[in-house]
Amino acid sequence: MALPPEVCIRGAGIVGHALALQLAGARLRVALVAPPPDPQARAREDIRAYALNSASRQLLESLRAWPDSAHVTPVREMQVHGDDDGCVRFSAPQQKVPALAWIADVPALEQRLADAVRFQPLVDVVAAPVPAPLTVVCEGRASATREALGVRYQVTRYAQQAIAARFEAERPHEEVARQWFNDRGEVLALLPLGGIGGRGVALVWSVEQMRAPQLLALDGPAFAAAVREACGDALGQLTPVGERAAWPLQRAVADNWTGQMPGEPQDSWVLAGDAAHTVHPLAGQGLNLGLADARALADILGRREHWRSVADQRLLRRYERARRGDVLAMSLATDGLQQLFAHDADPLPRLRNWGMRSFNRTRLLKAWVARQAMGLSPGASDSDQQRFPAP
């Protein structure tokens, strides 16, 4: 890049890559900070998988970064089970869409984004931050840059850890995402992997803090048996694939999402993705929120008046206002669901299961909730989803 960058993005994860490609598409020069990979991290198998909604798919397809069919699995149905007989079901045919969401292998998605960046001449991948009028912080929830800027990150910690693992199931997953809540506030999700007709599943199990070490200490067959018991033997025998991972759960939001760089009053910084906010993973919306941040910021910067700098605080505050409301709504919704199942004193179990059964019968409300989760505005036409080929 002959000229200096206009934007420096600190954090070369999925959100950082997606933002860099969008800004380059708006003819902005971008430096994407990607430190050399950790050899130990590279040696470990990456078992992560993300649920991507329609809005995220549209964005990634526009960037030519959507994984191929071997690495992304459509969700045709979602089943949410409470204790006793409480259950809510969402289906793609009922919503008149090809899929409710897609479960993507993270390594495949990251590789597609890296390939797209490599062929984008307006993006320079650099090993360390460089000066630029605007610095975008996409370093994740443990962001060192955010801390150095003195931004307060208000964290509410759950007394839980998330355990992630993968299994090969005895029975096909039938493109169904399954989730179970119990009366301790624990949430177990089995997400379909391996494409249509596959038997692979990704586990995300939010368990009590004191119980997590016990589960992590189990050998593979014993851990699989514990999962099988917790999910009511939904898919039969489970064979572990790869290692397990665990991390503490929290919801958080930064007090400020934008400001002026210390010592450089003409330059600005802005937060995006987990550096700005995190939510409970029970709805699988964390990455969707981060990609929505990237889309909103790129749109505002790309449509700015020609005389405005990308560091203009009016623009950046416009982005913050646009995103805070959606993030707050999702944070409150996921926290409310988690809290609803965290207590088992009567009459809560009977009330919440009555509520789940009643909700399952309300077609209009279910449709509205489904569209929100898919990232579709209430007034959007079904053509927004129907343009995707049927799985």
- From 32, 23, 21, 233, select the one nearest 128 (Cα to Cα): 32
What pLDDT score was predicted for residue 241? 93
By residue range, what is the domain housing residue 49? 7-72+108-156+251-342
With respect to residue 238, please indicate whether it lies within any of the assigned structural domains: no
Low-confidence ranges of the chain (pLDDT < 70): 1, 38-45, 83-85, 336-391
300-313 burial code (b ≥16 CB/10 A, e <16): bbeebeeeeebbbe
With respect to residue 291, please indicate whether it lies within any of the assigned structural domains: yes
Rg of the chain over Cα atoms, rounded to whole angstroms, equals 21
Tokens 């505005």 locate to 377
Per DSSP (E only), the strands in the chain are 7-10, 30-33, 49-52, 72-75, 77-81, 87-91, 101-105, 123-126, 134-137, 153-169, 176-181, 187-193, 200-208, 238-254, 258-261, 264-271, 277-278
With respect to residue 304, please indicate whether it lies within any of the assigned structural domains: yes
What pLDDT score was predicted for residue 171? 96
pLDDT in tens, 304-362: 999 999 999 999 999 999 999 989 888 877 776 666 665 555 555 555 554 555 545 55
With respect to residue 53, please indicate whether it lies within any of the assigned structural domains: yes
148 beta partners: none
From the number of C-beta atoms within 10 Å of its C-beta (0-12, 13-18, 19+), residue 236 rates as exposed
What distance in Å separates the CA atoms of residue 111 and residue 96, rounded to the nearest whole number?
32
Q: How many domains are contained in the chain?
A: 1
What distance in Å separates the CA atoms of residue 325 and residue 390, rounded to the nearest whole number?
32
Cα–chain center distance at 192: 16
Tokens 């910690």 locate to 157
**Max Cα–Cα distance, the chain, nearest Å:** 68
CATH at 310: 3.50.50.60
With respect to residue 33, please indicate whether it lies within any of the assigned structural domains: yes
Q: Are residues 307 and 282 in contact, defined by beta-carbon separation less than 8 angstroms?
A: no
Contacts of 175 (CB under 8 A, 6+ apart): 73, 74, 75, 76, 77, 99, 192, 196, 391
- From 57, 49, 50, select the one nearest 97 (Cα to Cα): 57
What pLDDT score was predicted for residue 228? 96
What pLDDT score was predicted for residue 378? 47
For residue 339 the two structure tokens come to 């809290």
Residue length, the chain?
Answer: 391
What pLDDT score was predicted for residue 371? 59
Angle formed by the axes of helices 54-62 and 286-302, nearest 10°: 50
What pLDDT score was predicted for residue 52? 95
With respect to residue 301, please indicate whether it lies within any of the assigned structural domains: yes
Q: Are residues 241 and 166 in contact, defined by beta-carbon separation less than 8 angstroms?
A: yes
Beta strands 238-254; 153-169: pairing state = antiparallel
With respect to residue 186, please indicate whether it lies within any of the assigned structural domains: no
With respect to residue 314, please indicate whether it lies within any of the assigned structural domains: yes
127 C-beta neighbours (distance < 10 Å), count: 9
